[in-house]
Structure 1
Amino acid sequence: MQQLSFNDQVIWFEPSLLTNIDHSQLAQIFEPEFWQQREAIVGSACGRGTTWFVQLEQMQAALRHYRRGGLFGKLVKDSYYFTNWGHTRGAREIEVLAALTQHKVHVPRAIAARAVKHGFFYRADILSERIPNAKDLVEILVESPLAHQVYYNIGVEIKKMHQAGVNHTDLNIHNILLDEQQKVWLIDFDKCGVQAGDAWKAGNLARLQRSFIKELNKCQIHWQQADWQALLDGYNA
Structure 2
Amino acid sequence: MIKRYQSQNQIVWYDEQLLLEPPEQVFNVDFWQQQNSVVGSAQGRGTTWFVQTQVLQAALRHYRRGGLFGKLVSDSYWFSGWEKTRSYAEFRLLTQLADAGVNVPKPIAARVIKKGFTYQADLLSEKIANAKDLVGILQHKDLQPKKYQAIGAEIAKMHKAYVNHTDLNIHNLLLDSSGKIWIIDFDKCYQQQGTDWQQSNLDRLLRSFRKEQKKRNIHWNEDDFGHLMDGYNTTI
Distance in 2 between the 1:147 and 1:211 partners? 19
Q: Which runs of 5+ in 2 are unaligned?
A: none
Matches within 5 A, 1:4-83: 4-19=5-20, 21=21, 25-83=22-80
Write out per-residue CA displacement over residues 113-172 of structure 1, whole angstroms, 9 at most, x where no aligned residue. 100000000000000000110000000000101001000000000001001000001100
Distance in 2 between the 1:26 and 1:182 partners? 33
SS of the aligned residue for 1:211 comes to helix
Write out per-residue CA displacement over residues 190-227 of structure 1, whole angstroms, 9 at most, x where no aligned residue. 11111111121110000000000111011111000110
Deviant stretches of 4+, over 6 Å: none
Matches within 5 A, 1:69-218: 69-218=66-215
SS of the aligned residue for 2:48 comes to strand
SS of the aligned residue for 2:17 comes to helix
Q: Which runs of 5+ in 1 are unaligned?
A: none
SS of the aligned residue for 1:61 comes to strand
Give the deviation of 1:104 after TM superposition.
0.5
Distance in 1 between the 2:132 and 2:206 partners? 19
**Total equivalences in the alignment:** 233
One-letter amino acid of the structure 2 residue matched with residue 62 of structure 1: A
Distance in 2 between the 1:150 and 1:56 partners? 32
SS of the aligned residue for 1:29 comes to coil
SS of the aligned residue for 1:30 comes to coil
Write out per-residue CA displacement over residues 65-122 of structure 1, whole angstroms, 9 at most, x where no aligned residue. 0011112111111000000000111110011111111210000100001000000000
Give the deviation of 1:58 after TM superposition.
2.0
Distance in 1 between the 2:48 and 2:226 partners? 34
Q: Does 1:222 align with 2:219?
A: yes
Distance in 2 between the 1:178 and 1:142 partners? 14
> With structure 1 as the length reference, what TM-score do the two structures score?
0.97
> With structure 2 as the length reference, what TM-score do the two structures score?
0.97
Distance in 2 between the 1:9 and 1:129 partners? 22
SS of the aligned residue for 2:64 comes to coil
* Root mean square deviation, CA, Å: 0.8
